[in-house]
Amino acid sequence: MQYLHSAVHSIEMLLNTFSTSPNHACLRGQLASSWSLCYLTDTLLVTQKRLYSTSFKQRGSSTCKASNKSSFRWAKDATSPMMVPGRILPDDKKPMLSDVSHCHIPILDMDEPIDRVIDKVAKACEEYGFFQIINHKVPQELCQNMLTAVTDLFHLPPEDKALLFSDDQAKDVRICHHYRKDQASQEKIALWSEVFKHSWHPIDDFTHTLPRNPPQYRKVIALYAKNIGGLMTLLLSLMSQGLGLEPNCLNDKIRGNPTYRVQANYYPPCPNPELTLGLGVHTDRDALTVILTTPEVQGLQVLKDEKWIAVDPVPGALIVNLGDQLQVLSNGQYKSVLHRAITNKTQNRVSLAMFYGPGKDTLIGPIEHLVNEKHPPRYRSYRFSEFLDEFRRQEGNRRRVKEAFELHMNG
């Protein structure tokens, strides 16, 4: 009981540090609710409800009333213990954080001589499917402004975010949750994150569809998108040369009416990171991804040789990873590897993933120059729309989409 009192006292102290502005009151709500995963005894759930109603609700902030929309369950969960199991992954899907390896993904300096960069890019694409780049020429101030704009967006009052919330995959600009569907019960388990999605090119054509709040979002994403577009063209050219192809080869394969998607991920502190994930285990379905993330907060993990590796974000670096289409185009020489985002107990983390992929009608298959007697084609060719259909068919599980297009050799 002594322990119980001191635990409650600490929570109240923590909540009282967020007492002034509406945004802080929202955080208080999230914090109050998030304890629901930590303390699963009836007594503590009652205590937690008391905290929610006295410390949070009593302040009467209308901005923090739980919305009816399913996206804003953080605050609602606090009054509903029944919601708690709906956030806990089954044992075989829990992250097993003590098993994470301490090996690192490669860090590439883009200011090194071009031949060295090409060799290193090729090696990283073959061995890891992931690397970090420094001296990438996207201005540091812009990266910082982008992270601030994304954080501010997720810290908007719930009713503002509710306007953006939608489960409709056809909607271009929306906030949603990611889930994992439990195979046995078919129950959807909500992951510990919120995500905001929209297209990012040609950005000037649709900035008007993006939220007006936070006020700087439209301007900052427009500038950031232009920088990332240039960087992606360069990266694809280096990757082409690393495969012994003409510099434009990969760019040309994807260029016809490509898709540009952005996904901003927000991971609030989680009381027990062992029970959940921020993003489930997945590969990226497009061709290339560039990720900007909160410096000095770990969260992204990459599978290498059947072991999870924690990505240590280097301040000022961008993280690059290959999507499924590059694995297929390179006939399996480059890897699109499984990765996931874990949560942590104390810090918010945001990441901004910019995806670049082919258009729906684009034909994707192993590039002819990479196929020969020694290297027979590993995948059949398909239109990207076919790949997307298979992707949707496998919804909710750990997707194995590119495997559906594998060719199986005799013998």
Q: Which residue ranges make up the site for ligand AKG (CB under 6 A)?
A: 263, 265, 279, 284, 291, 293, 299-300, 339, 341, 351, 353
Please report whether residue 77 would count as binding Fe ion according to CB under 5 A: no
Question: In the complex, what is the shortest distance from the CB of residue 2 to ligand AKG, in angstroms, rounded to a whole number?
Answer: 39
d(CA 330, CA 326): 6
- Written as six digits, the tokens of 391 are 């992707």
CB environment 376-405: b (16+ within 10 A), e (fewer): ebbbeebebebbbebbeeeeeeebebbebb
Residue 291 touches which of Fe ion, ligand AKG, none (CB < 5 to 8 A by kind)?
Answer: ligand AKG
Q: Which is nearer to Fe ion, 47 or 327 (CB)?
A: 327
- Taking CB under 5 A as the binding criterion, the range among 46-54, 117-125, 247-255, 276-284 that sits at the site for Fe ion is 276-284
Residue 390 touches which of ligand AKG, Fe ion, none (CB < 5 to 8 A by kind)?
Answer: none
Q: Which is nearer to ligand AKG, 241 or 293 (CB)?
A: 293
Question: In the complex, what is the shortest distance from the CB of residue 340 to ligand AKG, in angstroms, rounded to a whole number?
Answer: 8
**Judged by CB under 5 A, which of 25, 89, 122, 284 binds Fe ion?**
284
- Taking CB under 5 A as the binding criterion, the range among 90-98, 188-196, 282-290, 340-348 that sits at the site for Fe ion is 282-290
Residue with CB nearest ligand AKG? 351
Q: Which is nearer to ligand AKG, 31 or 279 (CB)?
A: 279
Q: How many residues bind Fe ion (CB under 5 A)?
A: 1
| Pattern 79-108, Fe ion, x by CB under 5 A | ------------------------------
- Written as six digits, the tokens of 79 are 């009054």
Question: If you search the block for the tokens 């410390």, which residue do you land on?
Answer: 55
Judged by the rule CB under 5 A, the positions of this chain that interact with Fe ion are: 284
